[in-house]
Amino acid sequence: MVAPELIKAAQAGEQESLVTLLREIEGHVYRTAFYILNNEQDAMDASQEALIRIYQKISTYEERAQFKTWVGRIVTNICIDKFRRTKPSVSIDEHEMVFAASTFVEDEVMSTFAAKDIVEAI
């Protein structure tokens, strides 16, 4: 848990305290993003965005909520934004599987034509 004194010092503009604070929460931020997005690269991107937003908005944090809850809400909002922006895509592995499957279909069609040619020749 983050010490309240560290949060107050970061809000007061002490750069060293702010850096220490961000380093203390970066693991929690990444785990939360990964839990929501279930993708390592997306979680890393979301974590980076969240840490930047926390850096920019630390002065707006009020002690009405726990700091961890405030951070979690920021991460969750960024992840939701990522879901909205992301369009469905096919991974390279899935793309290769489609081609591999179509090769078998082509072979099947070619062998059917070859069989017809053989029957006609006889």
Six-digit token string for 98: 């489609």
Q: What is the pLDDT of residue 92?
A: 67
Number of structural domains (the chain) is 2
What domain range includes position 117? 90-122
* CATH number of the domain where residue 85 is located: 1.10.1740.10
Q: What is the reported pTM? A: 0.67
Q: Are residues 67 and 21 in the same domain?
A: yes
| Residues 77, 114 within the same domain | no
Burial code (b: 16+ CB inside 10 Å, e: under 16) for 40-65 equals: eebbebbbebbbeebeeebeebeeee
Mean pLDDT, 10 residues at a time, over the chain (122 residues)?
A: 87 92 95 94 95 94 91 96 77 59 67 77 76
- Going from the C-alpha of 51 to that of each of 31, 48, 56, 78, 119, the distances in angstroms are 13, 5, 9, 11, 71
Statement to judge: residues 66 and 51 lie in one domain: yes
